[in-house]
Amino acid sequence: MNALSNLFGIGGGSLISRLLGQEKGEEAKKVCSFSFYGTIAVTSVYCLASFIFMEPLLRLLGASDNTLGYASAYTLWGVVIGGIPSTLSMTMAHSLRSEGYAKQASFGLGMGGVLNMILDPLFMFVILKPGLEVTGAAVATMISNEWYCFCRTVHCDF
């Protein structure tokens, strides 16, 4: 998912910066929009494929009969359900940096990390019942990534 967000975020951000330097704001807006929607489209395909081929993929990555249930739970929440917010948060951060908002991008991603550290123990040991600690960690991570997506908008209006 990092590769997908870097593809659209860093690639699009580089082009956005160059277009803004050339004072081509309208073209930069189009690139920003393409990066945003491209991330959603490609990540949707990735999440769907991860869901369909979850067990063979996890076994290929080393999951055994003992760990498959835990790996599947984390993959469901962290990749399948939380994939789009996760990739969008990185793509949006790269886009913000390319537009000159490095402080805001760093603050948003940093706060997502802090929120994850706060939510992890809550979901692992308080909110969800015992035995669902891995699911709790995955849900906390998903919520932390969604926080950045829904509380921070890309400044695609130059």
Note the pLDDT of residue 90.
Answer: 86
Predicted confidence at residue 15, as pLDDT, reads 93
Token duo for residue 157: 């209006």
Model confidence at 155, pLDDT cuts 50, 70, 90, reads very low
Q: What is the average pLDDT value for the chain, to the nearest integer?
A: 88
Backbone dihedral angles phi then psi of residue 42, each to the nearest 5 degrees: -70, -40
If you average pLDDT over residues 80-109, what whole number do you get?
85
Looking at residue 152, its pLDDT comes to 54
pLDDT at 96: 85
- Residue 110's pLDDT band, with cuts at 50, 70 and 90, is confident
For residues 19-38, average pLDDT: 93
pLDDT at residue 109 greater than cutoff 70: yes
Q: How far apart are the first and last CA of the chain?
A: 28
101 pLDDT band (50/70/90 cuts)?
confident
Q: What is the pTM of this model?
A: 0.82
Contacts of the segment 66-73: beta carbons below 8 A, 24+ positions apart = 70/134, 73/132, 73/134, 73/135, 73/138
Residue in the structure block whose two tokens are 């996760």: 86
Could you tell me what percent of the chain has a pLDDT over 70? 92
The reported pLDDT for the residue numbered 49 is: 97
